[in-house]
Each structure stands twice: as C-alpha cells, then as structure tokens.
Structure 1
C-alpha cells in the first residue's frame, strides 16, 4: 500500500463508527444528529454541537475514489451529510452558536469546527439551500464577535479559516476586519521558537491543527508574514516527530499525540521539508503507532484531516528527514531534545522532567514522573510531579536537574448534585455569562497548580553511552502514602484530545510502594535508573 493510501485507509476505517453515531432515520425528529448519547441513549438533555462536525468525514468519504472505499458516490451518504448540516442549523441557538458540554455554553471551538465542516461539505457536494447559507452567516457573525477565555491558537486559526472560506463562498468583505484581527492574534501568539500558544505552553499536537488551518488560509490569502510563520511552525514540528514515527505525548503542554497531516501536504508544494515531517509520521502510521481517537466525541478531527491529506497528497517526495546530533533547547517552551549517539531524549523541564527516551529508533521508556496516592483527612488524593510550573532548572553539557514542589492532581468528577447545580446555573444567570463559567471550569480542570507537601529533584546525566536518571523526593512523613509509582502515560489535567491509547503505552507502572514502606520519618525517597 502506498503512503498516500495509508491516510485513506486509516480514515475510512472510522466511517462505520461515525455512521453508527448518526440518526439516519428520515422520519425521526433528530434525523441528522450525530450525538448518539442524545438521540439514541437519551442520557443527556441536549445535543453536542461539536458532533455535527462529522458531516465532513462523510462528505470526503463520498468523494474519495479508492478501491477500498465502499462509500464512494453512495447517494445515501450525500443525503445523510445534508441532513447533518440541516440538524446543525436546527439545533443551534438563535445567534448561531451551539453548545458542547453543558446547556447555553456557546462553545466557540464546537461552533467553529462544525461550521467549517458544514461549509466544506456544502461546497464539496455542490448543495444549494438558502436556509443553510443563512445559518452559516449567523454562526460566522457570532464567531466574529465572540472571544473565548484562554489562549487556544488552534481555535483562533480555525475561526479565521471559517470566516475566510465563507467570505469566498459569499463573495463578500463582510468579515474582513474580523479575519485580520483573528489572524493577527494567532501570529502574535507564536513563540520566537515557532510554536503557537495552547493554554500554558507548547503542545506540538494542537500545533499541527493550527498549521493545517494556517496553510489553508495562506492558500486563500497569501501573505509574506504568514508564510514566514508557517516555515517556523513546520521546522518546530519537525523536532517532535520521534524516530519511530510517533508524535508528541505527555511531555507537551496538553498531553496530546495529535498529528494533523493536511497542512504539511499543502505547505509541501512550496516547502519540501514539510513533506519530510509527514513522511516520518506515515512511517509510524504504517507501524500502528498513531493514537486511537475513535471515541464518540473526537473521532472526527483526524478522520477528515487524513482524507484531506490523501486528496492533496504531493506525489514527489524529498529524501527522508535526518536530524543532526546535538541538543535542541527550546527555552520558551521549556522542552529539551537531546540526540546523542543512537539515543533521542524528549524532556519537559516545565513538567518536572517528564520524558521519552528512544534508542535505535525504538522507545526505551516513557516516564511521567513520580506519583503518590495520599490519604488526606480520610480521602485519597493524587500527588504528582508532572504539572506545569516554573521549576528550578540547571542545565550543563552532561547533566540536567529539575527540582520543585509536587502538586495535587486535578481529579474533580461530576456528581448528580454537581450536574444539577450546573444545570440550574446555566438555565438562569449562567446563560448570559457562558465565558465566565468556562473560565471557572478551566481553572478547576486545566490550568494552575496547587502545591503538595512533597519536594522532588530529578537529575538526568549522560555517562558512558547511557542516561542515568536519579530521583529524590522529600516530605515530612510517609505514613499517609498509600501507593507510589511511575507511569509512562499519566496526566492530570482535563484535555479533550489527551489520554488516548497509543501502542507505546504498553509499559507497566513502576511500583515504588515497597520502597516507600521502608522509609523513616524525614528520610528521602531515592531511585536511580540507567537507560
């Protein structure tokens, strides 16, 4: 199978699942709804607007002419796509916005993803429906005037692309100012190192979504400054494709393994280095190293992006990527990449020394730092060393040290009472202040760190062709530590696209509990490992 067809095969494998999520009954009041929890199981009381994004994978499957595609030019697929766009319009608020996780949320991410999907599907299939065009316009007006809390570059780039595509479709300059302002915001959030801000730092996964959007924007509206930003962004992304073809992971700000290839194919027409990044990822895809995103909420993004990459695949490919030996120290991202002899180390210094280490193009170990399960006032809490913070860092040629306070993991769960309170809030005054509610939830589930009474020091030292990792943890007492260990894929903040399964996660926890049981009051936990 050709590299190009790997994109199509991976994406088309998700279409039956997407069709299962869809209400395909024309006589149903929810015909065209992709939120199965709403229309079928009836376990939630509103449909997620993000789910209507799934019209685009179906529209692209309808148009993807490969031997292994049973959905190609099937009339019923076309009918279902149209039904999905109509349901997106019917289920939207009067101002064109939509909800994702709770009523009256007015989620700009869900509104933008689903609007782009509807616009692309509408034009792809050559539909003609003035009512739908009016809906597109209303949602675009809302997106143009709404600013969400938090710094999410991929959302801003996506909104810009929506407004630009719709301007092209309507042949209007109506959103010209909003397009310029949003694009300026995205470019202002790009670090001098090339990455785009995602909440508290650099996430190479969401970075590739931003690249995909900006590449399309550059096609429609070529500008020198945007081209320069894309070149920097691609060069940055190239550093995070692991030698086995996997990408990203827990050492990044949002813990994602995302890789959206379409932008690299688009940019590859004028920057061959972008195709090297895509080809390295395709090597991992052929080995089954891509993460699994086939759940009810996030299956759509990669499916349509892979199909677009298949459609716009560049036939002439450059020589494979070869990274020079040495150190790449991204001071603003606080990520260090060290390539020595036949090893590659990816180390997050702003996350307590979380790292991945490869030798001979194979993963040796993924390490998300020490974790304790601690009894506090009769309840179990999780204390971790991998939350984003400004740690004490010392770097020299042979040794790297990270030290600081551990933090309490964010493990807030919804309960019937919490859900009831949230519903009451959103059905009363919260509906008028959705951004405030969103900001409060972000602070609770995503951003910030509450220090715990445990202090760690992690030292990584290169010696005789090996990495030596030394960990030391101090606390006043160990009697309330119930369990201790080190995981390869533990994360502790809420991110939609994180905590997916990836084949390299098949490594057991390192159980440190027996060692902790032997420690006296005031004695430090010390561990030394060689890789």
Structure 2
C-alpha cells in the first residue's frame, strides 16, 4: 500500500533524526553533553557553541512523543534523556541575560534565541520538565531578553517567534507577561502589507511567510483574543498564489530567495479556513515525487523537521475536494506576479529584476535569475537584487529597466576573523546591535550599483512567452570575463536559501561569446522564446 502524503512527510522527518543524533554530544559525563553543535564540541573548529543548534530538541521531543508508523524513537528512554540534556545545555551555555550567539561570539542573536527558546519550551512541556527550577529560570531570562530586545531590520518570522514565546510564558507565569506580549503582537501585525505578506528585510518571501503563518495560526489557537486570525488569513491567501504546480515554493524571484515550506500552520488554519488545507496538499505532493528541497545541513534542517512532525500531528482528515490553483494576480507592492496562460504558469519578481520561473503544466520549463556578469577583477554584477527599477506590467507582458548591482560575496579571511573577534570582545559584547547593523549592510541589505544597465521584457504572443534582454556596459565590455544566465542564483546572504531541489538540474547559459563582436557602446541583445534553451 502506498503511504499517504501525511505519513511520507513524517517518514522523511524521521529519516533525518540520525543526523540530529550525530550532531549531538550524547556522552553524559562530557561537559558539552546535550550540545548539538558538532563543529564546536567534536571538531573544535570554533570557540563558542551556536545557540541556534539547541532548536533540535523540539524535533527529538516530537519524535519521542508521536506514535508514527515505524517510529523507532517513540517513547525511547534514551531519546528523552537527550532532549533533557539539550535543554539543560541551552540553559547553561546562555549569556547571563538569557541571550545566545549564532555566528560569532557575543552576537546575542534574536533569531537564535527565539527559535531555540520556542523549541525548549515545547520540548520541556512534552517531556514534563517545564517546572524544573533551573530550566524555568532559563526560560524566564531568555523570554525577558527577547521581550525587551528589538533587533535591527524587519524579520517578521522572528517577531512571530517572539510572540509565540511570550504566549507560552504568559500561560506559565501569568499576567506579568501580558504587556510585552501585546506590544510585540501589535508590532508584528503592523509589519503586514496590505497585499497579505509580512516584511522580510523590505520585501515578500513566501518561504519565510509560511513559517510566520504557522506561528500565527498556532498562536491564534492559543490566544484568540490577540486578533491574529485576520492577518493569518490574508497571509494564507497571498501565499496560495505562489505554490508552484510541482509543489515547490519560492526561488530567486522572491525577496530572500528561499524555497521553504513550513506546512503545520496550514493544517491548524484548516479548522476555520478549509482552503488552507489545499495549500498543504499541493506542497506535500513533493514527498511522493522525489522529496522536498534538501535542507539537510547542520543549521537549517532543525527548522523544518519540527514543522513536518507537527503537520503529521495536526493533520485533518476532513478535507474538501481538490481546488483549482489560485488565479493570475499581480501584487505591485511586492512586485510579484503569477500569470497563468494556457498550460503555462509564469512566476516573476519584478522588483528582483524580472527573475522568473516558467512552468509548462506541472513541470518546470525554465528558471531564470537574470543576467550575471563576472569581471576580470573578480566581481559579479547581477540584475536580481532588489532595486529602484522602472516597472511596467500589463495583460500581455511586462518590462523592467534598471541598473545591475554587485553581488554580495564577502568572505572571511584569517585577518578578518581576528579583527571581528577583537571587535566583539572589546566593543561588540556591549553593543552587539551596532555590529549586526554593519554586517547586515555588508551581507544582506546594502546595495552597490554596477556599471551595467539592463532592460528585460517578457511578452505573450498567444502561444508562448518571449523574453528579450538588453544589457548596456557603461565602461565598455573590456573588463567582462564571463556573462550568462543562471536559473537559481541568489546574491545576498540568506541563511535558508541556496538549497538543492530536484528541478534545479538546469545548466548555466553562457553568453560570453556573444560579446566578442560588440563595440563598447553596443548593447548585448538576447531574445528567447520559452519554453526552450535557444538564444538569438
């Protein structure tokens, strides 16, 4: 008998548990017993433990508690011991104020603190440890730090995590947590755009939005008085437009380029919004067709496992008949477009330089991140970084004109590492947000224009799409080493982006030979009819 999508999702999650157990120091007499940062405790390649790693306790606790068919971890005493050890290590490795670090010492990272606190709160509740004095004190310190800390940048999924944590602390300890809870809930709701998406560094990212939806739906169930449901419903309606025909989500046409899908919130919302279940059904089909994107690195896999296991636990059998995909729509504030014509579906990010994915039926025909140019001095110019572009969109096509930007490719060197450590020890430990803002500008949000301009136009001729690219080199073509088009390129630091998915098997389209005959003032013009790989 073929397993159901629900069971396939759970089996996929359970298949990752050995990796989590490998990352864990499982030796009770070790001083790092319970640490999930193998780079720290085993390889000893870094000088502090990553606080985000302790999020893995949630997935282990769910594996221990859920009677999933074939679950060898169900009620296993050793697994419960490992969960407790992980919570205690999170408590003992935290800073005195309850915060923790993620990528560098004394960082005091809100995301790592919020993810791992939610995981520890839930795991402690599952194994019956929430009233332990040491652990309760840790919960109190970290939640207080989160309640009063405002990180730089708008990351709505982090704010939703903080709200979820404060809801749990209010339930544990009473009304003292109500004022900060309501203040943070109001702050989160103020970050929702009228189109339905929540802000992630200034734009819409469906992948991160699915996590925010999950947190909103679960928080609304616990605290309906906070008024989160209307925002959750608007977010689901926006998100539904961007589940691709093959079940994938997102890509380089979105603000952060992620391919996340956190399904559990759609099951919870299905109680009062039946169409939310159809969203899960479309995305869950991936588990029966080669699997979801590969999230199996040491840092991000933990985010997904607990959502998959919760989805199994929350699964609703009272599902409506299959629904048609959401219709064509253009969301000008996010710059995101879905255009369905005949059997083809175009997903395009106009604010991302008209990066797009085109599906023919339920198969990806072409993915296009825009033109990329590598110069002889080692820099890379791209058109898919968000910018102030001249955008036109109509029933039969679209046009985006703008300037390309330098990709963010800063790497650490031994000297930079020493300098960063010195800065954090001397200054950063007292002003971590200052360092974070500087690094965000370098790696995430700042934009530096490149001496290349582009004009991309997509037109529908009644049977297929044609894309025409014109590239202008302000300083001539002499410094260009390579030029071409990639399908799945991202060019800013997004931790949860750049994962592998089966439909990524698409070669780089090298256009370097086309510039050999151009004069310095001549534009490179490439015209293609899609689907297809030809260029003229």
Q: TM-score, normalised by structure 1?
A: 0.98
Name the SS for the 1:31 alignment partner.
Answer: coil
2:387 and 2:37 map into 1 onto residues whose CA distance is: 37
Cα gap change, 1:3/1:289 in structure 2, threshold over 3 Å: closer, same or farther? closer
Residue in structure 1 matched with residue 342 of structure 2 by the alignment = 341
2:93 and 2:516 map into 1 onto residues whose CA distance is: 56
1:229 and 1:355 map into 2 onto residues whose CA distance is: 27
1:147 aligns with 2:150: yes
1:114 and 1:521 map into 2 onto residues whose CA distance is: 54
Residue in structure 2 matched with residue 499 of structure 1 by the alignment = 498
2:223 and 2:119 map into 1 onto residues whose CA distance is: 20
Residue in structure 2 matched with residue 395 of structure 1 by the alignment = 393
| Equivalent of 2:304 in 285, 302, 305 | 302
| Equivalent of 2:170 in 167, 172, 179 | 167
Residue in structure 2 matched with residue 254 of structure 1 by the alignment = 256
Name the SS for the 1:530 alignment partner.
Answer: strand
2:116 and 2:228 map into 1 onto residues whose CA distance is: 25
1:267 aligns with 2:265: no
Name the SS for the 1:124 alignment partner.
Answer: helix
Name the SS for the 1:87 alignment partner.
Answer: helix
Residue in structure 2 matched with residue 404 of structure 1 by the alignment = 402
1:177 and 1:288 map into 2 onto residues whose CA distance is: 47
1:487 and 1:285 map into 2 onto residues whose CA distance is: 26
1:446 and 1:324 map into 2 onto residues whose CA distance is: 31
1:493 and 1:116 map into 2 onto residues whose CA distance is: 28
Q: CA deviation at 1:224?
A: 7.7
Name the SS for the 1:485 alignment partner.
Answer: strand
| Equivalent of 1:213 in 211, 215, 236 | 215
Q: Is the 8 A contact 1:280 1:320 kept in 2?
A: no
Cα gap change, 1:523/1:337 in structure 2, threshold over 3 Å: closer, same or farther? same
Residue in structure 1 matched with residue 534 of structure 2 by the alignment = none
Which consecutive residues of structure 1, in runs of 5 or more, have no partner in the other structure?
none
Residue in structure 2 matched with residue 425 of structure 1 by the alignment = 423
Segments of 4+ moved more than 2 angstroms: none
| Equivalent of 1:157 in 155, 160, 167 | 160
Q: Is the 8 A contact 2:240 2:326 kept in 1?
A: no
Q: Is the 8 A contact 1:245 1:289 kept in 2?
A: no
2:318 and 2:230 map into 1 onto residues whose CA distance is: 23
| Equivalent of 1:38 in 37, 40, 48 | 40
1:29 and 1:116 map into 2 onto residues whose CA distance is: 24
Residue in structure 2 matched with residue 287 of structure 1 by the alignment = 289
| Equivalent of 2:7 in 5, 8, 18 | 5
Q: CA deviation at 1:287?
A: 1.1
1:357 and 1:190 map into 2 onto residues whose CA distance is: 28
Q: CA deviation at 1:324?
A: 5.8
Residues 224-277 of structure 1: CA deviation (Å, up to 9, x unaligned)? 842111111111111011111111111111100000001001001111011010
| Equivalent of 1:384 in 372, 376, 382 | 382
1:323 and 1:9 map into 2 onto residues whose CA distance is: 27
| Equivalent of 1:222 in 221, 224, 228 | 224
1:151 and 1:119 map into 2 onto residues whose CA distance is: 24
Residue in structure 1 matched with residue 371 of structure 2 by the alignment = 370
| Equivalent of 1:239 in 220, 228, 241 | 241
Name the SS for the 2:405 alignment partner.
Answer: strand
Q: CA RMSD in A?
A: 1.1
Q: CA deviation at 1:315?
A: 1.1
In the TM superposition, what are the counterparts of 1:178-193 in structure 2 within 5 Å?
178-193=180-195
2:490 and 2:243 map into 1 onto residues whose CA distance is: 21
1:311 and 1:423 map into 2 onto residues whose CA distance is: 43
Q: Is the 8 A contact 2:197 2:209 kept in 1?
A: yes
Mean Cα deviation higher: 313-322 or 503-512 = 313-322
Q: TM-score, normalised by structure 2?
A: 0.97
Q: CA deviation at 1:336?
A: 1.2
2:344 and 2:323 map into 1 onto residues whose CA distance is: 16
Name the SS for the 1:429 alignment partner.
Answer: helix
